[in-house]
Amino acid sequence: MRIMDDEQPPADTKLTRSKQRWASERKFITGARVADDRLPPGQHLVRDWPVLDLGRQPDVSLDRWRLTVKGLVARPVTLDWAAFLALPQTDLRSDIHCVTTWSRYDNDWAGVSTHDLLDLVEPRDEAAFVMLHGYDGYTTNVPLADFGSPQALIARTWQGKPLTREHGGPARLVIPHLYFWKSAKWISAIEFLGADRPGFWEVNGYHMRGDPWAEERYS
């Protein structure tokens, strides 16, 4: 299945240029020891949820939404919204940590656990990484072990309400133990890989994994 027409390569925006410069300057790296196990080094708490994107916020209706799971899996699948809702639904609470140094505590999500998705598609033995694709043309790579972590899910609600377009709705990844650029918005495809491959920000100097507690901001 071809991904929707509104998936295009990300635009070159002021934000992308700034973040590329931060990577070259290794901005925000503190080297500090973790004083608070909950708040990673170099982070500060916010109450609101800042909106960051690549200059496009694709408008994907529930009727048109599809999630394609492909690559090194025994049972590749394309889910429409009804099929997605028919999967087991999970409620989780987690903190999120953006590479631009903000963190937000106690985010309530509902959606499909990545564990349940893995059970559905059955990754092949040689699968070790996933590439996440968004309707905005965004990509990011994640180790399979991180993708399948107990707190990871494909979220459709936040704080009890449908996920808004600006925050990646109808559905986005949430992998809370990694920097939030790894939690792809407007998710359109999940590709299982045998070898790691850099996504959008990783090509532009950002870390291949992105552990906030190790300050893995840049490569």
Give residue 199's pLDDT band: very low, low, confident or very high (50, 70, 90).
very high
Amino acid at 36: D
| pLDDT tens string 66-88 | 999 999 999 999 999 999 999 99
CA 68 to each of CA 14, 62, 76, 84: distance values in angstroms, whole numbers, following the listed order: 31, 15, 8, 11
Backbone φ and ψ for 132, nearest 5 degrees, come out as: -95, 135
**Cβ contact 71:58 at 8 Å:** no
Give residue 31's pLDDT band: very low, low, confident or very high (50, 70, 90).
low
Percent of the chain with pLDDT over 70: 84
**pLDDT given for residue 217 in this prediction:** 96
CATH number 3.40.50.150 given to 14-27+39-214: no
**pLDDT given for residue 5 in this prediction:** 45
Nearest Cα neighbor of 141 from 196, 74, 214, 215 is: 196
Residue 172 vs residue 30, higher pLDDT: 172
**pLDDT given for residue 52 in this prediction:** 83
| Burial (CB count within 10 angstroms: exposed 0-12, middle 13-18, buried 19+), residue 39 | middle
pLDDT tops 80 at residue 25:
no
Strands, DSSP E only, in 75-199? 77-80, 90-97, 102-113, 129-134, 139-143, 153-158, 161-162, 172-174, 187-193
pTM for this structure? Answer: 0.85
Q: How many angstroms separate the CA atoms of 141 and 180, rounded?
A: 12
CA 171 to each of CA 12, 61, 96, 148, 165: distance values in angstroms, whole numbers, following the listed order: 24, 11, 16, 17, 9
The tokens 């901001």 sit on which residue? 217
| pLDDT tens string 4-18 | 444 566 666 665 665
Give kind and range of the element (H or E) at residue 24: helix 14-25
| pLDDT tens string 115-135 | 999 999 999 999 999 999 999
